[in-house]
Amino acid sequence: MTTVAATSALRSLAYAIPVVLVLLVLPYIVTPYQRILMSYGLIMAIAALGFNILLGYTGLLSFGHSAYFGLGAYAVAFMVKYLHVTSMELFLLGGLIATLLVTAVFGFICVRYTRIFFAILTMALSQVLWSLAFKFFWVTGGTDGLRIPTPTILNGLVTVPKNKIAFLSHTYYYYVLIVFVVFAALMWVIVHSPFGQVLQAIRDNETRAAFLGVRVRRARWIAFMISGGFTGVAGILWAPLNGLTTPDILYWPFSGEIVFLTVLGGFGTFSGPIIGAVVFNYLKTYAVGLTVYWQLLLGAVLIVLVLALPTGIMGTLTRLTLKIKGASPK
């Protein structure tokens, strides 16, 4: 994040625009399957961005983010089942409100602690939600889960193809892409705002931050809500794509996955979580296709990552580019 030269808006745009352009024309280059895969990647990228405002910027490791992802997804499922809603926009609105309400409560509880106790507390709270989804099967569908049908976009203004694959790989892909760009921009502004500076100060030295007149707990709480909100939005987008939501996405190993992919990309940079989410998505898909023992593969990757490249992909790349720049003659 803030290294010797703070990234200016222009420089970030210079990196971002080509990427967005490529993503925009993707449907004309790659197969539908690849586009759907990328949608999953972008969705996890939103979740990772949310997760990382807590880890990378505020110094809080949450091991319970599956709760907010699941909340988003189940909110959509409930809106379908009990309110007969099909509008994507209503899903986003309703899901976000539900997620923010719960994150506000959970966050208020959790930010009184840091480090290991914070991590365990977030885990315990996410398990509360999991156990409810698991046990109240007549409400939540239990382990069978709840189905989510094709949603409507912009209340019918955008025509939804009858063919589900066509919808998911084209219309929905663009929808996810647009939401991703909006939320990525939003997060970028937040972390480069005065509030973002405060979070980093708290991360580095909470006592000193307090002595600067910062309300530490309140800042952490707000960061928590932003974090949960973003991850909730990811869950909301995920539900129609996946077509089904089950308690698995509330179960604690999924929280571990979110941590994993953020660390993979590098939690010390803004774009790290995005890269990590997309790469992890490909990694997992490839691993699952390769062997039934894909967990073994991913576990090994994680251990090697933490041992050898703790700053993740982007962190290592940044270090290498600095080295190369330093080595080149003036």
Partner 1 sequence: MTPLDNRPTDTPSNHVLLMTQRLCKSFGETRAVDGVDFVVREGEVLALVGSNGAGKTSLVNLISGLLRPDAGTITFRGREITHLSIYDRIKAGIARSFQLVNLFDQLTAFENVRLSILSREGKTRQLFRLVERDRHVRQESLAVLDRFGLEEKSNMLAGGLAQGERKLLDVAVAYALRPTFLLLDEPTSGVSTREKGTIMDTISEVVKSGGITAVIIEHDMDVVFTYAARIVMMHQGRILADGTPEEIRQNAEVANTLLGGSFST
Partner 2 sequence: MELLPIHILNSLLYASTLFLIAGGLSLIYGVMRIVNLAHGSLYALGAYVTAWTIGQLAGGAPPSTLYALLPVGAIAVAAVGAIVEPTLLRPFYQRAEEYQLLVTFGLLLILEDVMRLVWGPYPLSASQPREFLGGSTIFGSQYPNYNLLVIGLGFLVAALLWAFVYRTRFGVILRATSQNMRMASALGVNVKRVYVQAFALGCFMAGLGGAFIVPIQSAVLGMGVDALIIAFVVVVIGGLGSLEGALIGALIVGFVRTLGVILFPEIELAVLYIIAAAVLLIRPIGLFGRA
List residues binding partner 1 (CB under 8 A).
Answer: 2-6, 8-9, 189-190, 192-198, 200-201, 203-205, 207-215, 219, 222
Nearest to 228 by CA among 92, 40, 52: 52
Q: Does residue 295 interact with partner 2 by CB under 8 A?
A: yes
Q: Which of residues 273-292 bind partner 2 (CB under 8 A)?
A: 292
Element (H, E) at 146: strand 146-147
Q: How far apart are CA 288 and CA 56, in angstroms?
A: 29
Say which entry of partner 2, partner 1, none residue 200 contacts (CB below 5 to 8 A, set by partner kind). partner 1
What is the C-alpha to C-alpha distance for residues 211 and 170, in angstroms, rounded to an integer? 52
Question: If you write DSSP's letter for every residue of 75-114 in order, what string do you get?
Answer: HHHHHHHHH---BHHHHHHHHHHHHHHHHHHHHHHHTT--
Name the DSSP letter for residue 193.
Answer: S
Q: Which does 303 bind (CB under 5 to 8 A by kind): partner 2, partner 1, none?
A: partner 2
132 interface partner picked from partner 2, partner 1, none, CB below 5 to 8 A per type: partner 2
In the complex, minimum distance from the CB of residue 199 to partner 1, in angstroms, rounded to a whole number: 10
Q: Is 1 in the site for partner 2 (CB under 8 A)?
A: no
The item of partner 1, partner 2, none sharing an interface with residue 213, based on CB under 5 to 8 Å by kind, is partner 1
Q: Out of 119, 146, 209, 225, name the contact with partner 2 by CB under 8 A.
A: 119
* 20-29 as b/e: b if 16+ CB within 10 A: eeebeebbee
In the bound state with partner 2, the residue whose beta carbon lies nearer, of 233 and 298, is 298
Based on the shown chain and the rule CB under 8 A, indicate whether residue 230 belongs to the binding site for partner 2.
no
Question: 156 in the Ramachandran plot: left (φ > 0), alpha (ψ -120 to 50) or beta?
Answer: left
Q: State yes or no: residue 114 binds partner 2 (CB under 8 A).
A: no
3-state secondary structure at position 3: coil
d(CA 262, CA 279): 10
The one among 11, 117, 156, 205 contacting partner 2 by CB under 8 A: 117
Q: How far is the CB of 4 from partner 2 (least distance, A)?
A: 23
- In sign, the C-alpha dihedral spanning 3, 61, 199, 278 is positive
d(C-alpha 136, C-alpha 146), whole Å: 12
Q: Restricting to residues 23-62, which ones interact with partner 2 according to CB under 8 A?
A: 61
| Smallest distance, partner 1 to C-beta of residue 185, A | 11
Q: Which residues contact partner 2 (rule: CB under 8 A)?
A: 61, 63, 109, 112-113, 115-117, 119-121, 123-125, 127-128, 131-132, 134-136, 252-253, 256, 259-260, 263, 292-296, 298-303, 306-307, 310
